[in-house]
Structure 1
Amino acid sequence: MSPQEETARRRYIAMNAVRIGGIAVLLIGLMIARKVIGGPWWLGAFLAVAGLLAFFFLPTLMVRRWKRSEDEGGRSRGE
């Protein structure tokens, strides 16, 4: 596997891990808000919203950061 393929593979795994983590936080938040597990309602609502935001927006932010770091690296090497 080439270095570019290995980097792409690691990034793909990282993005999906973030998505799965976001879903886990969302589900825990919903369980707290619905009183399935103990905790205040506001904590459950906060976790549910945070999980949704993580699921939808963190992978996009990760890609932007990776592209920006690649662009900066390319300019510094004269490419």
Structure 2
Amino acid sequence: MINGTRILGVACVVVGMLMASNRLFASTPDWIGYVLIVNGLIDAFLLPAIMVRKWRTPK
């Protein structure tokens, strides 16, 4: 689950960069690409740390 979250986060960043540079879905506004980039960065860096902390076995 954690690695899947990281991979999907990186995929969101890549798609967001392609959308912001008008190479993918050129008719969409640029801000949608920027939102995907921010969402992907959060998914790739913050969510796995939160998931590890949440799923840690109690002592």
- What TM-score range do you get, normalising by the shorter chain? 0.7 to 0.9
- Please give the TM-score of this superposition, normalised by the length of structure 1: 0.67
Q: Deviations over 1:5-48 (max 9, x none)?
A: xxxxxxxxx21111100000011100110001122100000001
Q: Distance in 1 between matches of 2:13 and 2:29?
A: 15
More helix by proportion, 1 or 2?
1
Q: Distance in 1 between matches of 2:30 and 2:39?
A: 14
- Please give the TM-score of this superposition, normalised by the length of structure 2: 0.87
Higher RCO, 1 vs 2 (CA within 8 Å, ≥6 residues apart): 2
Number of residue pairs the alignment of both structures matches: 57
Q: Which runs of 4+ in 1 moved over 2 A?
A: none
- Greater C-alpha radius of gyration: 1
Superposition map of 1:67-78 within 5 A? 67=56, 70-71=57-58
Q: Percent identity?
A: 37
CA RMSD of aligned residues (A): 1.2
